[in-house]
Structure 1
Amino acid sequence: MSVCVECKKPLDVELDPEEEEEYETAASSSGKAPAAATETVPDDVQLTCGCHFHWDCLLEAYQVTECPNCGKNIASTSSNGAQQVLCNLNNEGGLQTDLDILPLLTEEFYLKAYPEDRKCRAFLEFCREGDFKAIIDMLQDDEVDEDDDEDEEMADDDQPGKEVGIDRMLRYQDPIGEMQSGLHAAVQAQSREVAWLLLLLASNLDLLEFPPEVFQEAAALGIMRGLTEDKVDIRSLRDANGKTAEDVANEIGGVWVGWTGNGRLAI
């Protein structure tokens, strides 16, 4: 049986009690008695060089272009010319072959270096998915006193484990994702609902430009615009290619027809 080349232990991981309960529930609903095997699940990352790692062991030892065990080159070039790191990944979700894990590795290493950005990145991912409800939940869970001193707020944001201010989440730009803002992400996701929310909370767009339905929904959720005049307008943020969210909307068209050129997405 193959073992992890880093820690020399079998390529599986024990389930925590909650995960084990989920497996037992699934087994019961299928009419099968839960077996002892449900106590562990596979945890096997097989690189192109043939070496096997646990996921966490790979993260601890990972080097971008070489296998940390045998030193062979594990990076390759995709059909569109981008760098990739392919592997066969076998975990609780099943076996996935020729999976590019470079984006996952890149994000994990970024978060290891900047753990204070974890909530901001989760917020941005919800914008990319157009998940309005999840965004609202995050904003409500992380509500902070808008009257706090700005310098004090910045100091708190920069310390791991501290609460991340709403202003920082709203205006976060992805340093490993072409500096996208939440508004860029909402535009690409073609989510008008998320775009309206971000414009309400993080722009100086005249309130007369908002449909009544936006205010009704915001009021029902207990969301209000604070002072925005002294803060960066989210519409002015540019990605790594120098594009604003309106520039992206112009390229996409579709649901954004009628939005561009009238100030909704641009100052």
Structure 2
Amino acid sequence: MAACVACHKHLEVEIEPDEDDDVQMGGSASGKAPAAPPQTVPDDVHLNCGCHFHWDCLLEAYQITECPSCGKSIASTSPGGAQQVLCNLNNEGGLQEDLDILPLLTEESYLRAYPEERKCRAFLEFCREGDVRAIIGMLQDDSDDEDDDEDMAESELPGRKIGADELLRYQDPIGEMQSGLHAAVQAQSREIAWLLLLLASNLPLTEIPAEVFQEAETLGIMRGLTEDKTDIRNMKDANGKTAEDLAKVIGGVWTGWVGNGRLAI
């Protein structure tokens, strides 16, 4: 079996079982559920140069265009002309062949350099997925550093708290500077768009649908003072386009939203 060229260990990793798995195993005589043993799964990134890495080992030594072990080029050009890094990735999800891992490598390398942005990027990802509950949960969560899991604990620098205003107005530095509103428009999620307009714009509250307003009020999240803050409708991506500019191109669910001040001032 091939080994990781960085650490020389087998291309596998142990993962801890979910709590649900422990519950399914049943209780012991003491009344406590026995801990399920760790599960061994593949962890093999097979680059096109022939070298094998664990995912974390590759991240530690990552270079954009060259294998950090043999020095050969691992970059290629996609049919669309973009740079890509293809590999065969075998992990707990199974084997994926000719997978472009450049976006993942770029994001993980960025977050290792700027761990304080991990929470902001998670928020933006929820906007892209249209996950209203997750977004509301993050906005409600303004004080529980101790209860966060390890990844979330790394999302904030010592002494620095990521507040709701920063989450709402975050722009993706490795994703064409998109805001949450850009992401919602691209995902064609009107529910997310209304929520962001309620919380991070100066759109008159009388123009917010009553059900959106009432649900937010019930959950204890509401617009604060916005006069001295950037209106999310004014945010432009790296191409100089607002969320309304993007809506014009997409059309569809955004018919009736363009030109009336909902997405642009």
For Structure 1 versus Structure 2, the TM-score category normalised by the shorter chain is 0.7 to 0.9
Q: In structure 1, how many angstroms separate the alpha carbons of the residues matched to 2:21 and 2:11?
A: 21
When residues 218 and 143 of structure 1 are mapped into structure 2, their CA distance, relative to the original with a 3 A threshold, is farther
Q: Deviations over 1:83-109 (max 9, x none)?
A: 110110111111111111100000011
> SS at the partner of 1:45?
strand
- Which letter maps to 2:205? L
Q: In structure 1, how many angstroms separate the alpha carbons of the residues matched to 2:158 and 2:57?
A: 23
Is 2:88 aligned against 1:88? yes
Residue 210 (structure 1) shift: 1.2
Residue 224 (structure 1) shift: 1.2
When residues 158 and 43 of structure 1 are mapped into structure 2, their CA distance, relative to the original with a 3 A threshold, is closer
User: Does the CA-based 8 Å contact 2:89-2:95 persist in structure 1?
Assistant: yes
Could you tell me which of 227, 243, 246 is aligned with 2:244? Answer: 246
Could you tell me which of 201, 204, 207 is aligned with 2:202? Answer: 204
- 1:177: which partner in 2? 175
Residue 39 (structure 1) shift: 2.9
- 2:29: which partner in 1? none
User: Does the CA-based 8 Å contact 2:200-2:231 persist in structure 1?
Assistant: yes
> SS at the partner of 2:87?
strand
- How does 1:103-118 map onto structure 2 within 5 Å? 103-118=103-118
Is 2:188 aligned against 1:190? yes
Is 2:167 aligned against 1:129? no
When residues 161 and 239 of structure 1 are mapped into structure 2, their CA distance, relative to the original with a 3 A threshold, is same
Q: Deviations over 1:197-221 (max 9, x none)?
A: 1001100011121121121111221
Residue 22 (structure 1) shift: 3.8
User: Does the CA-based 8 Å contact 2:86-2:100 persist in structure 1?
Assistant: yes
- 2:14: which partner in 1? 14
- Which letter maps to 2:211? E
When residues 158 and 39 of structure 1 are mapped into structure 2, their CA distance, relative to the original with a 3 A threshold, is closer
> SS at the partner of 1:50?
coil
Q: In structure 2, how many angstroms separate the alpha carbons of the residues matched to 1:49 and 1:198?
A: 45
User: Does the CA-based 8 Å contact 1:116-1:161 persist in structure 2?
Assistant: no
Residue 160 (structure 1) shift: 4.7
User: Does the CA-based 8 Å contact 1:116-1:160 persist in structure 2?
Assistant: no
- 1:3: which partner in 2? 3
**What are the ranges of 5 or more consecutive residues in structure 2 without an aligned counterpart?**
26-35, 145-154
Q: Deviations over 1:151-194 (max 9, x none)?
A: xxxxxx98357431110000000000000000000000111110
**What are the ranges of 5 or more consecutive residues in structure 1 without an aligned counterpart?**
27-35, 145-156
When residues 72 and 24 of structure 1 are mapped into structure 2, their CA distance, relative to the original with a 3 A threshold, is farther
Residue 24 (structure 1) shift: 10
- How does 1:1-267 map onto structure 2 within 5 Å? 1-16=1-16, 18-19=17-18, 22=21, 39-142=39-142, 159-160=157-158, 162-267=160-265
Of stretches 209-218 and 170-179 in structure 1, the one that deviates more from structure 2 is 209-218
Alignment RMSD: 2.3
> SS at the partner of 1:3?
coil
User: Does the CA-based 8 Å contact 2:7-2:57 persist in structure 1?
Assistant: yes
Q: In structure 2, how many angstroms separate the alpha carbons of the residues matched to 1:37 and 1:21?
A: 13
Q: In structure 2, how many angstroms separate the alpha carbons of the residues matched to 1:250 and 1:48?
A: 41
> SS at the partner of 2:85?
strand
When residues 242 and 58 of structure 1 are mapped into structure 2, their CA distance, relative to the original with a 3 A threshold, is same
Identity %: 76
Residue 44 (structure 1) shift: 0.4
Question: Counting helix residues as a fraction of each chain, which structure ranks higher?
Answer: 1
Of stretches 113-122 and 214-223 in structure 1, the one that deviates more from structure 2 is 214-223
Residue 79 (structure 1) shift: 1.0
